[in-house]
Amino acid sequence: MPSPSPEQSNLQTGETSLTTGTGLRLRVRPAGGADEGALESFFEHVTLEDLRFRFLSAVQHVGHDQIAAMLRSDRERTRTFLAFEESGALVGVATLATDAQGETAEVAVSVHRDFKAHGIGWSLLRLVAQIARANGILHLQSIESRDNHAAIEVERDLGFTARAYPGDPTLILVEADLAGDAASGT
**Domain layout of the chain by residue ranges:** 6-137
Per-residue tens of pLDDT for the chain, all 186 residues: 443 443 444 555 578 899 999 999 999 999 988 999 999 888 888 877 776 677 666 666 676 788 887 787 666 688 999 999 999 999 999 999 998 898 999 999 999 999 999 999 999 999 999 999 998 999 999 998 888 888 888 899 889 999 999 999 999 999 999 987 444 443
Annotate 55-124 with DSSP letters as a single string. Answer: HTS--SS--HHHHHHHH---TTTEEEEEEEETTS-EEEEEEEEE-TTSSEEEEEEEE-GGGTTSSHHHHH
Annotate 27-49 with DSSP letters as a single string. Answer: EEEE--GGGHHHHHHHHTTS-HH
- 8, 10, 34, 48 from 30: Cα distances, Å: 13, 11, 11, 25
Q: Spell out the CATH class of 6-137.
A: alpha beta
Model confidence pTM above 0.75: yes
Taking Cα atoms as reference points, which of 135, 144, 139 lies closest to residue 75? 135
